[in-house]
Amino acid sequence: MKKNLILLCVLATLLFSCNKKKDSNGATVNNHTHATEKKFSKADSIINKAIEAHGGKLYTTANYSFIFRGKEYRFKNNGASYIYSSEIQKGDSLIKD
């Protein structure tokens, strides 16, 4: 009798827990699918605003280079393709990465 009662409680718990989903905050979420606007986290919003303030879409095609401690670093972005490279002169040799 005790085993049957435990089994009934477990089955009831499984049955009720499968009906509704909860989000990370514990709120119940409907299983309906609707086209909704994507919500960004606070961190993502800050990053997106910073990118827009400093050039926005100009970063989809970019070509940068700088020298740091005698080594030249290059970054070239052309849409979906990226090239990162560096080179340094050591003696008579030019080393490229």
Please give the tally of structural domains in the chain: 1
Contact 63, 45 (CB under 8 A): no
State the residue range of the domain holding 95: 57-97
Residue 2 pLDDT grade (very low, low, confident, very high; cuts 50, 70, 90): confident
Residue 15, domain member (yes or no) = no
pLDDT at residue number 33? 54
DSSP 82: E
Q: How confident is the model at residue 16 (pLDDT cuts 50, 70, 90)?
A: low
- Please check whether residue 64 lies inside any domain of the structure: yes
Q: Is residue 10 part of a domain?
A: no
What span, in angstroms and rounded, lies between the C-alpha atoms of 67 and 22?
51
Q: Judge whether 61 lies within some domain.
A: yes
Name the CA dihedral angle for 6, 7, 13, 19, rounded to a multiple of 10 degrees: -170
pLDDT tens for each residue of 26-68: 555 555 555 556 788 999 999 999 989 988 888 788 889 999 9
